[in-house]
Chains A and B, each alone.
Chain A
Amino acid sequence: MDIKKTNHDNSLIVGISGKIDTASAPKFEQELKNSINDCTELIFDFAEVEYISSAGLRVLLSAQKTMNRQGSMKLINVRKNVMGIFEVTGFTNILNIE
Chain B
Amino acid sequence: MKKFEIEAITENLHAVLGFIDEQLELIGCPMNIQMQIDIAAEEIFVNIAGYAYKVGTGMAVVGVELHPEQPSVDITFIDHGVPYDPLAKADPDITLCAEDRQIGGLGIFMVKKSMDEVKYEYLDGCNILTMKKGW
Q: Which residues from chain A sit less than 8 Å from chain B, CB to CB?
A: 21-23, 50-55, 57-58, 61, 64-65, 68, 80-81, 84-85, 88-90, 93-94
Contact = CB atoms under 8 A, between A and B. Distances in A.
B66 interface: no
What are the 10 tightest A-B residue pairs by CB atom distance, in nearest-first order?
Answer: A90-B94, A54-B107, A94-B98, A58-B103, A54-B106, A64-B98, A88-B113, A22-B46, A53-B42, A53-B39
Interface of B: 10-11, 13-14, 31-32, 35, 38-39, 42-43, 46, 94-95, 97-99, 101, 103, 106-107, 109-110, 113-114
Contact of A22 (B10, B97, B106, B109): B10
A89 B106 contact: yes
Given A21-B42, A51-B38, A81 B101 contact: no
B94 A85 contact: no
B42 A68 contact: no
Given A50-B35, A54-B110, A61-B103, A93 B13 contact: no
A93 B103 CA distance: 15
B98 A65 contact: yes
Given A51-B39, A68-B99, A93-B94, 5 more contacts: A53-B107, A61-B103, A64-B98, A65-B99, A93-B95
Contacts of A57: 103, 106
Given A88-B114, A89-B94, A23 B10 contact: yes
7 contacts: A21-B42, A22-B46, A61-B98, A68-B99, A88-B113, A90-B94, A93-B95
B121 to A, nearest CB: 24
B47 to A, nearest CB: 10
